[in-house]
Structure formats: C-alpha cells, structure tokens
C-alpha cells in the first residue's frame, strides 16, 4: 500500500475520515472556530469579565464576604404560585437546593474553582443558604448542608421544609437517605441559575483580579517576553492564509507533558487570528460538535472541552492594564492589531487563571508553527499533500513536534532529533501497515 495522500474536500465540511482510496478528507474549521470565539466572548460578560479587564478570579475571603452581604436572607422575588419542573403547584413550603460549580477561581495559592450550596425557600423567595465551598477545605456533604440550614437559616427561625426540589438525582438520593419521610423531587431548578449569575456579577463589580500578562505573579516576565517574540514571528508567517479551511495538527512537547494534543489554526475568515490547542483529537471533535449545535438555554455554554488559545487582538481592545504593561516593557509586536493574548477556558467557557506552563506551551507552539509553515506552506497549500512530521528544538533544547494531519502520526518514527530541526517523511512499512508509536 502506498503512502496516503491528504486531499482537501472543501465541500465536505463535517468529515475527517479515510476515503476508500486511503486519502484523508479535511474539515472546514474557520466558521465554527469563529463561532466558538464569539461564544467565549459572550460568556465573558455572563461570567463576570467586564470591559475594564476584571476577571472572575478573587480571594476566598472576598467571595464569602460578598455572598454574606448580598444574599443574607435576600428575597428573590419568586412569582407567587411558581410552577415547578413537575408541572404541579406544591402545597406548603418548598426548598429549592443545589450544589453548583462557580464560574470563578479562588487565586490564593493554587487556583481552584469553588462550589456553592444554595437553598431557596418558596413561595417566600427567601434565600436561606448561600455557602461557598473551598475545594482545599474539608468537604461538607450535601445532607449536612441541608441539616445546618434547617438548624440555622440565613433568615428566620429554625424550620424544616415540607418538600425539597433538586435537579441532581445523585444529591436527591443523598437527601432521601438522610431525611426519611421528606418529600424529595428531582426537577429543573432554574431559580438557582439566576441566583448564581447575580452572585458572579456582584463579585465582578466588587474587586476581582485585574487582567495582567503576569497573572498576579503566576507568569514570569521571561515567559511573557518569549510569548511576544514568538507571536510576532507567527503573525508575520500568517499560517491562517495557507490553511484557511483549517487543518487538525498533532502537537507533542514531551518536556512540558504535552502529548497527543491537537492544534487548529483559526483566522481563515479574516478575523479571530491565532490558534487553538485542544487536549486531544477527541477534544477537537467535541468542540466542533458543540460549536455547531444551538445553546440549550441562555447563559449556558458548553464548548465540549477545555481550550488553550492564542489570539491576536487590537491594542484598543486589550484591557488597559495589559496594554500598559506591553508599552512599559517594550515587548515587540508586528503591528497595533497584533497584541498576543493567551486564554485558557474551561468547558463552560470560564477563564482559567493562566500558569507559566500555559504561556510557555503557547509560546513554543507559536514559534515552532511559524517554522513548520515556513518549511511546508507550499505543501500544505496544495490540494494534495503527503503527511508531514517535523520536530524542532528551541534554545533550551526542548522538542516541539507537529504531525499534519493529526491522523497521520502512526506513519512516522517518532525519535528525538539529534539537533536543530528535523523533518520526517512517511516511510513504507513492512506488510503495508504503519508501525505505531510504542
């Protein structure tokens, strides 16, 4: 069997599979990558990233303080006779409860996302509990949360509801086991989503962490400087002009623990220039599916995976603090519309606090991508091309390896190059089958 040839099929945007003659068909990603970028931008406002560059990153003590001030015994204004998810009007007092993941990070020590326990009393609309749960603290069971709330609610005397409503069947089973005889119903709890949005909005208005290239000391000046230098080279190379319809590329950086990641160039539509790094090919495909389906309901975003990205932004669109840092440090840019910005988003599009490793991965990927396209752009721009695998060593002797297209990686002997940059072409294997990487 001969070497497979990659065949671009712009009229077949959804598929990435082998055809009957062994060729690989490539998906178009420009449209959905831009759509997903728009989703992430929308989520910034929904999750507390305002125009001044305040991110949803905050000290734990500040979260607890604001939750206490804003929600102590708050009346939520639930409509009288609100129907529950079961379509029935419950008699007596109903408590709507849940343990929700907050779309913010606690930045004291190792960044982490807290949960919050809510118990909302209906029909009064009183919020009787809003308890922040630090992942680093001893964990409290959900049954204990209800017990403590009944004994000492945020408003009113100790009391017990006649019925509780939860959207999580697992939590409902825990409550049934701990409180025999209590009426427990599994049904949607949209009231809690509204409370969570209000809480996050309040946190963003009262002092989140300011946007900074240094990420409050988590990213070193050396890593940011290297990012700007690498990004300028990549912007000059402009790979989005070569693979405008997108090309899934495998990325390996063994020294940084990056294995079998997937890179997608974006910007073929002339906007949102840069690239996305997915943890795997499966993540890439989940992201594509998520971007093409409509949102389940307003305010709920599902990217299908977490995504690390490099975007080139206009200086006027950068948070003021980041633009000032770039000017003060004298970091090089290609032009005023090419400021590099690294983002790491969770599956729900919430911004993760960046680490030095995140920025180093993006920086190494950017510089090596520029080299990869400089050597191979004439091949990648063709309608048909043989799979390519190329490794490069940076100044610190760290190997960065790309394989295009992603599915072609088993065709290559993947060994550390002796030095410099080594480009590998597929070799014929015995018995007509590619040898897989050990």
pLDDT tens for residues 185-197? 999 999 998 888 8
Confidence of residue 379 (pLDDT cuts 50, 70, 90): confident
- Beta-strand ranges (E) seen in 167-253 are 183-186, 209-210, 249-253
Q: What distance in Å separates the CA atoms of residue 185 and residue 89, rounded to the nearest whole number? A: 13
pLDDT for 291 beyond 80: no
Provide mean pLDDT across the span 385-399. Answer: 88
pLDDT for 333 beyond 90: yes
Q: What distance in Å separates the CA atoms of residue 404 and residue 388, rounded to the nearest whole number? A: 5
> What pLDDT, on the 0 to 100 scale, is given for residue 365?
97
- pLDDT tens digits, 395-435: 888 999 999 989 888 888 763 444 445 555 554 433 333 33
> What pLDDT, on the 0 to 100 scale, is given for residue 29?
44
> What pLDDT, on the 0 to 100 scale, is given for residue 412?
84
Q: What distance in Å separates the CA atoms of residue 38 and residue 290, rounded to the nearest whole number? A: 13
Domain residues of the chain, as ranges? 6-52+210-432, 57-205
CA–CA–CA angle 372, 374, 240 (5° rounding): 80
> What pLDDT, on the 0 to 100 scale, is given for residue 311?
95
Confidence of residue 244 (pLDDT cuts 50, 70, 90): low
CA atoms within 13 A on the CB side of 139: 7
- Beta-strand ranges (E) seen in 361-414 are 384-385, 388-393, 399-404
- Listed residue (339, 309, 344) closest to 324, CA to CA: 339
> What pLDDT, on the 0 to 100 scale, is given for residue 380?
81
Give the Cβ contact number of residue 254 at 10 Å: 13
Q: What distance in Å separates the CA atoms of residue 375 and residue 192, rounded to the nearest whole number? A: 54
Tokens 């002339």 belong to residue: 270
pLDDT for 22 beyond 50: no
> What pLDDT, on the 0 to 100 scale, is given for residue 110?
82
3-state class (DSSP) for residue 404: strand
Confidence of residue 151 (pLDDT cuts 50, 70, 90): very high
Which residue did the predictor score with more confidence, 50 or 98? Answer: 98
| CATH architecture, domain 57-205 | 2-Layer Sandwich (3.30)
- Contact (CB, 8 A) for 157 and 63: no
pLDDT for 25 beyond 90: no
Which residue did the predictor score with more confidence, 281 or 3? Answer: 281
pLDDT for 135 beyond 90: no
Sign for the pseudo-dihedral over CA of 243, 248, 249, 253: positive
Question: Residue 386 has which token pair?
Answer: 């043989």
Q: Lowest mean pLDDT of 6-10, 166-170, 198-202, name the range.
A: 6-10
């Amino acid at each position: 069997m001969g070497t497979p040839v990659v065949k671009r099929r712009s009229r077949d945007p959804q598929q990435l599979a082998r055809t009957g003659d062994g060729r690989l068909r490539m998906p178009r990603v420009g449209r959905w990558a831009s759509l997903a970028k728009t989703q992430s931008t929308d989520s910034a406002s929904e999750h507390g990233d305002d125009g001044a560059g305040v991110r949803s990153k905050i000290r734990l003590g500040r979260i607890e303080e604001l939750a206490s001030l804003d929600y102590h015994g708050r009346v939520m204004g639930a409509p009288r006779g609100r129907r529950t998810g079961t379509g029935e009007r419950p008699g007596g007092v109903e408590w709507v409860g849940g343990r929700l993941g907050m779309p913010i990070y606690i930045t004291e020590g190792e960044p982490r996302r807290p949960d919050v326990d809510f118990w909302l009393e209906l029909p009064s609309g009183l919020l009787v509990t809003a308890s922040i749960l630090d992942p680093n603290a001893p964990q409290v069971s959900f049954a204990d949360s209800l017990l403590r709330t009944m004994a000492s609610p945020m408003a009113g005397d100790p009391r017990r509801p006649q019925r509780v409503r939860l959207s999580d069947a697992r939590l409902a089973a825990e409550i049934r086991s701990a409180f025999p005889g209590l009426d427990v119903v599994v049904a949607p709890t949209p009231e809690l989503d509204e409370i969570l949005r209000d809480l996050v909005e309040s946190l963003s208005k009262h002092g989140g962490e300011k946007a900074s290239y240094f990420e409050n000391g988590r990213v070193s000046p050396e890593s940011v400087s290297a990012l700007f230098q690498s990004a300028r080279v990549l912007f000059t190379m402009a790979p989005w002009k070569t693979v405008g319809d997108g090309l899934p590329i495998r990325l390996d950086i063994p020294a940084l623990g990056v294995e079998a990641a997937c890179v997608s160039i974006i910007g073929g539509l002339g906007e949102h220039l840069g690239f996305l790094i997915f943890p795997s090919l499966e993540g890439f495909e989940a992201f594509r599916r998520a971007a093409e389906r409509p949102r389940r309901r307003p305010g709920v975003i599902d990217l299908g995976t977490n995504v690390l990205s490099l975007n080139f932004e206009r200086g006027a669109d950068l948070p003021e603090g980041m633009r000032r840092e770039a000017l003060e440090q004298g970091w090089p840019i290609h032009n005023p519309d090419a400021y590099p910005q690294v983002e790491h988003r969770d599956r729900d599009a919430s911004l993760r606090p960046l680490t030095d490793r995140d920025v180093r991965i993006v920086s190494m990927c950017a510089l090596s991508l520029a080299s990869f396209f400089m050597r191979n752009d004439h091949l990648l721009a063709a309608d048909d091309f043989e799979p390519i695998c190329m490794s490069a060593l940076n100044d610190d002797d760290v190997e960065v390896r790309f394989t295009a297209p992603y599915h072609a990686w088993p065709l290559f002997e993947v060994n550390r190059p002796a030095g410099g940059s080594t480009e590998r072409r597929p070799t014929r294997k015995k018995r007509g089958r590619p040898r897989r990487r050990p």
